[in-house]
Amino acid sequence: MTAPTPTQLAHAIRFLAIDAIVRATEGHQGVPLGMAEIATALYTRHLKFNPADPTWPDRDRVVLSNGHGSMLLWALNYLTGYEKISLDEIRRFRELGAHCEGHPEFDPSKGVEVTTGPLGQGIANAFGMAIAEASQRARFGAGLVDHFTYAFVGDGCLQEGIGQEMISLAGHLRLGRLVLLWDDNQITDDGSTALSISEDVAERFRVAGWHVAEVDGHDIDAVSAAMDAARQDPRPSLLACRTVIARGLARLQGQRGGHSARLYPEDADAARQLLDWPHPPFETPAPVLHAWRTAGTRSLPAHAAWTARRDALPAVERAEFDRTLAGELPAGWRETLHAYKREALAAQRMQDAPGGILISADINDRLTDVLPERLVGCADLEAPTSHKRRLHAFTADDPSGRYIHCGVREHLMGAMANGMAAHGGVIPLAVTYLAFSDYERPAMRMAALMGLPVKFVFSHDSIGVGKNGPTHQPVEILAALRSMPNMLVLRPADAVEAAECWEIALEHRSGPVSLVFARQALPTVRRPSATGDDSDDSDDSDARDNRSRRGGYVLAEAEGGPRAATLLATGSEVAIALKARDLLQAEGVPTAVVSMPCCERFDAQDADYRRSVLGRGAVRVAIEAAVRFGWDRYLGEDGGFVGMTSFGASGPADALYEKFGITAAAAAATVRQLLAQRA
């Protein structure tokens, strides 16, 4: 074999995919076979990357939004020389523990920028990466941050609403470094795309302000030229690449079965015949492999130049750049929160207490000066959530802004935040009402699955929403969020716990958090520590001691005897629990109140601590303006619950708390009843 042709490079992808899928007995050949030429054009002629330093901060990002086509990525990453993706791993495609999973799973060290699979998420992540790039470039300059984000994308991602949200907002924000590579094969799982779509997709992008090029996706030169044009254009770009699904498999190409019909050794043999590829399974001829490995070194000069520029930075600037990339927090962030907490403890605001979400807004406003990498997205609820304040908007003309008006596009907002977190260098917040978290939930699940430190912020967290009615009143959503693995759900009771929860949220790096705030006022329930005096020292110990960190704690201990009852509550219901405790204590029932801002953290405590907080012999009643589902693990066999058993209703918040019986009187009555049953 002489120097391989570009087409032979593409065939190397094809046959690795075919052989691995035949061996695994399942997989999705449609994408790797249909997009082999597109990928070859990208990786051998355009992509800025370095398999020897896969997490190079200024690398171009590549997202395989059609993640079922994972063999495309595994083949590319093997061929270009990512150490983790060895030929052995390719052979282990889809086996348990293999690096080559059925869908790509987040691990930049093996060339996977983001986990993909659920359609539409990937291109929305890519959009978030492009925002993070633009934001960082605005801050640190193009010498340090100057890369593209490419996404492979199929019809499914573009049919999904989240994909449409992305098209609209990316065009609006003129994200010129975002390039989509559309596998326009006119086939989805059901068959012809004509079954479910008849619009001109390219035109839909043009309407949204995108640069669009329509090319033959199997013509490497044409695709490459289109990539050049895309990179020059100030708008985001769609390369609409006409392709043949499963190209090379005579039995399946261009057909519905091309997507993922089972492949057999005979199919592989036939493809070898058809494409003139007389090499054994899993064997890439040396000249072809060499050409691919050479492509894997094409950005070494750029890598060296970038490293030199980074090294030449003034120490302070370099440290700041490195810090944000490492996801480390700057000096002063914790003190800012402690100061807020100290003030809240001192002020003890009751009748004049601000709404829960406004407390979070106040805290975030304080963080503006100390956490410049914080990027806040909000889905058209700026006024009621108030997390903009002194930030200015990120716009097409000014990417230095740190507030993103996402429009009424919650799903995109969540997935965008994931992309920003996966990109690194920024701390994304995504703000909306809790009732609308369901719109974001598929993205939240991906954040939890990937372990991305996204801060999902929610307001209007219960029937406390009031007159807007049950559509806007979460009742099941806390439970639904708490059921999600690797998701911390934080629901603070007052300004003190809010500061503590923000401290937990910012410290937490191994996954997302949901910070859940009431619309209604949250009077201060935490008191300065009883042992303290007015000296600065005790103040500081109160400020530093984050009682929320253990998830649940005794806010008010029973008095006048051994604890007879424990009232557990979160958020806005903690104040109700305290009132119920007053009623019961007045009747001589020694009652403790446990505040439980984070069930997941409480569950992680040792058994002794949990028992001591819950109170071993005490009857236990939980109070939360939400469903009981999930609470029983704290209540024992005879526990009680004061909360919701249905959706809410339209009416004033106070009237709703009465109507649904979430009151101090009801909680006290429940305790009395349980004690009587025991007696």
Tracing tokens 């409480």 back to the chain, one arrives at: 602
What is the total count of residues that contact its own copies (CB under 8 A)? 107
Query: Is residue 608 exposed (0-12), middle (13-18) or buried (19+ Cβ within 10 Å)?
Result: exposed
Q: Segment contacting its own copies (CB under 8 A): 11-19, 51-59, 362-370, 399-407?
A: 399-407
User: In the numeric block, which tokens belong to residue 33?
Assistant: 């076979």
**Closer by beta carbon to its own copies, 120 or else 597:** 120
* Nearest alpha carbon to residue 416 among 153, 474, 405, 370: 405
What HEC string does 3-72 produce?
A: CCCHHHHHHHHHHHHHHHHHHHCCCCCHHHHHCHHHHHHHHHHCCCCCCCCCCCCCCCEEEECCHHHHHH
**Cα–Cα distances in Å, from 240 out to 176, 386, 656?**
16, 40, 53
In angstroms, give the least distance from the CB of 158 to its own copies: 8
Distance of alpha carbon 369 from alpha carbon 364, whole angstroms: 9
**Using rule CB under 8 A, residue 22 touches its own copies:** no
Tracing tokens 């590579």 back to the chain, one arrives at: 181
* Nearest alpha carbon to residue 145 among 56, 33, 235: 56
Q: Are 626 and 462 in contact (CB under 8 A)?
A: yes
**Using rule CB under 8 A, residue 155 touches its own copies:** yes
Distance of alpha carbon 596 from alpha carbon 598, whole angstroms: 6
Q: Which residues pair with 644 in a beta bridge?
A: 627
Residue of 37, 133, 160, 410 with catalytic role: 410
Single out the residue of 636, 661, 672, 675 in contact with its own copies (rule: CB under 8 A).
Answer: 636
**Using rule CB under 8 A, residue 637 touches its own copies:** yes
Q: Segment contacting its own copies (CB under 8 A): 81-89, 290-298, 441-449, 552-560?
A: 441-449
**Using rule CB under 8 A, residue 156 touches its own copies:** yes
Q: Segment contacting its own copies (CB under 8 A): 2-10, 132-140, 243-251, 627-635?
A: 627-635
Q: Segment contacting its own copies (CB under 8 A): 299-307, 336-344, 446-454, 590-598?
A: 446-454
What's the N-to-C CA distance of the chain in angstroms?
90
**Closer by beta carbon to its own copies, 145 or else 169:** 169
Tracing tokens 């369901």 back to the chain, one arrives at: 438
Chain positions 300 to 339 lying near its own copies, rule: CB under 8 A, are none
**Closer by beta carbon to its own copies, 11 or else 482:** 482
* Cβ count within 10 A of residue 520: 23
Helix, strand, coil in percent for the chain, rounding step 5: 45, 15, 40
**Using rule CB under 8 A, residue 649 touches its own copies:** yes
Q: Is 83 a catalytic residue?
A: no
Single out the residue of 7, 86, 159, 538 in contact with its own copies (rule: CB under 8 A).
Answer: 159
**Closer by beta carbon to its own copies, 68 or else 341:** 68
Q: Is 675 helix (H, G, I), strand (E, B) or coil?
A: helix
**DSSP secondary structure letters along 166-230:** HHHHHHHHT-TTEEEEEEE-SEETTEEGGGT--S-HHHHHHHTT-EEEEEETT-HHHHHHHHHHH
Q: What are phi and psi of 385, to 5 degrees?
A: -100, -25
Chain positions 55 to 74 lying near its own copies, rule: CB under 8 A, are 67-68
**Closer by beta carbon to its own copies, 58 or else 183:** 183
**Using rule CB under 8 A, residue 235 touches its own copies:** no
Chain positions 484 to 543 lying near its own copies, rule: CB under 8 A, are 484-486
Single out the residue of 141, 330, 407, 661 in contact with its own copies (rule: CB under 8 A).
Answer: 407
Q: Segment contacting its own copies (CB under 8 A): 9-17, 331-339, 470-478, 549-557?
A: 470-478
In angstroms, give the least distance from the CB of 634 to its own copies: 9
Chain positions 599 to 618 lying near its own copies, rule: CB under 8 A, are none
Distance of alpha carbon 181 from alpha carbon 97, whole angstroms: 30
Cα angle, residue 567 at apex, residues 565 and 572 outer, rounded to 5°: 165
**Using rule CB under 8 A, residue 391 touches its own copies:** no
Distance of alpha carbon 572 from alpha carbon 582, whole angstroms: 17
Cα angle, residue 324 at apex, residues 321 and 327 outer, rounded to 5°: 150
Q: Are 33 and 121 in contact (CB under 8 A)?
A: no
**Using rule CB under 8 A, residue 171 touches its own copies:** yes
**Using rule CB under 8 A, residue 645 touches its own copies:** yes
**Closer by beta carbon to its own copies, 409 or else 491:** 409
Single out the residue of 652, 665, 673, 677 in contact with its own copies (rule: CB under 8 A).
Answer: 652
In angstroms, give the least distance from the CB of 483 to its own copies: 4
**Using rule CB under 8 A, residue 661 touches its own copies:** no
**Using rule CB under 8 A, residue 282 touches its own copies:** no
Chain positions 91 to 150 lying near its own copies, rule: CB under 8 A, are 94-98, 101-103, 105, 115-120
**Closer by beta carbon to its own copies, 182 or else 340:** 182
- Report which secondary-structure segment, H or E, holds 639: none
**Closer by beta carbon to its own copies, 331 or else 383:** 383
**Closer by beta carbon to its own copies, 83 or else 190:** 190
In angstroms, give the least distance from the CB of 98 to its own copies: 7
Question: In whole angstroms, what separates CA 29 from the centre of its chain?
Answer: 28
**Closer by beta carbon to its own copies, 410 or else 494:** 410
Q: At residue 54, what is the residue type?
A: P
**Using rule CB under 8 A, residue 383 touches its own copies:** yes
Single out the residue of 58, 60, 160, 542 in contact with its own copies (rule: CB under 8 A).
Answer: 160
Tracing tokens 């699955």 back to the chain, one arrives at: 449
Single out the residue of 448, 504, 555, 556 in contact with its own copies (rule: CB under 8 A).
Answer: 448
In angstroms, give the least distance from the CB of 63 to its own copies: 14
Single out the residue of 23, 139, 445, 526 in contact with its own copies (rule: CB under 8 A).
Answer: 445
Tracing tokens 């990208």 back to the chain, one arrives at: 42
Chain positions 196 to 215 lying near its own copies, rule: CB under 8 A, are 196-200, 203-204, 207-209
Q: At residue 151, what is the residue type?
A: A
Q: Segment contacting its own copies (CB under 8 A): 185-193, 231-239, 521-529, 560-568?
A: 185-193
**Using rule CB under 8 A, residue 659 touches its own copies:** yes
Q: Segment contacting its own copies (CB under 8 A): 55-63, 364-372, 472-480, 553-561?
A: 472-480
Distance of alpha carbon 243 from alpha carbon 147, whole angstroms: 27
Q: Segment contacting its own copies (CB under 8 A): 162-170, 216-224, 225-233, 322-330?
A: 162-170
**Closer by beta carbon to its own copies, 199 or else 606:** 199
Q: Which amino acids are annotated catalytic?
A: 410
